Amino acid sequence: MDKATEISALLAPTVASLGVELLGVEYLPAPGGAVLRLYIDVPEAEAAGEDARAVGIEDCEAVSREVSAQLDVEDPISGNYTLEVSSPGLDRPLFTPAQFSRFQGQAAKVVLKLPQDGRRRLQGVIVEAGGDEVVFEVDGNCLGVALDNIEKARLVPDWAALGLAPSRPGKDAAGRQGRKK
């Protein structure tokens, strides 16, 4: 069991007791101090319907306080570390088979631990997820990837469908056109 999985199992009940769900954990060790990043969201049932709610800063603060106290007692990380608690955002990370299934039909970027078909990075549509494999449609072909070979995966939002795409390609948000002579 890797460190992120170990920490996720340790913290999930605490996070759930605060009315949110622990989607996943990223543990990034570094010489100056590790980063422990927790992604939280409201349970799927609360995220839909008439009374839908989203994770707010108050949820992140509450989780940070409780988890920090628990980590001080349990001490699963040796040395210094920074705790970050975040909502998943539109380009949410995917950690579990259930998360891949939930977003079936959407595009995702994936980094593999070991190369598959000569590549470590791929971008494709999630076709299905079940058991220990996720199937992506990449460049018109289906590619099955073992879950334990996925290092990182994130959704790729369709910015145009969300109405958030830039109005003029090649221009940044401020509308600057580069240096004038």
Q: Are 114 and 179 in contact (CB under 8 A)?
A: no
Check whether residue 67 and residue 115 sit in a common domain: no
Q: Is the pLDDT of residue 83 over 70?
A: yes
Q: Is the pLDDT of residue 35 over 80?
A: yes
How many domains are contained in the chain?
Answer: 2
Q: Among 86, 116, 132, identify where a domain stops.
A: 86
Could you report the per-residue pLDDT of 89-110, keeping only the tens digit for each?
999 999 999 999 999 999 999 9
Distances in whole angstroms, Cα of residue 129 to Cα of each of 95, 103, 151, 156: 12, 10, 16, 17
What pTM did the predictor assign? 0.82
Residue 7 makes CB contacts below 8 A (sequence gap 6+) with 25, 27, 36, 76, 77
Domain that holds residue 69: 3-86
In a domain, 180, yes or no: no
Find the CATH number of the domain harbouring 40. Answer: 3.30.300.70
Check whether residue 25 and residue 77 sit in a common domain: yes
Find the CATH number of the domain harbouring 131. Answer: 2.30.30.180
pLDDT at 151: 95
Assign 171 a pLDDT band (cuts: 50, 70, 90): low
C-alpha 39/C-alpha 37 separation (Å) is 7
Q: What is the dihedral of CA 115, 151, 89, 96, to 10 degrees?
A: 110
Could you report the per-residue pLDDT of 126-144, keeping only the tens digit for each?
999 988 999 999 999 999 9
C-alpha 25/C-alpha 30 separation (Å) is 16
Check whether residue 9 and residue 72 sit in a common domain: yes
Query: Can you read off the two tokens belonging to residue 155?
Result: 């959704």
The phi and psi torsions of 77 (rounded to 5 degrees) equal -120, 120
C-alpha 94/C-alpha 134 separation (Å) is 11
pLDDT at 178: 53
Average pLDDT on 2-13 reads 95
Average pLDDT on 114-124 reads 95
pLDDT at 174: 54
- Percent of the chain, pLDDT > 90? 75
Could you report the per-residue pLDDT of 46-64, keeping only the tens digit for each?
766 677 788 999 999 999 9
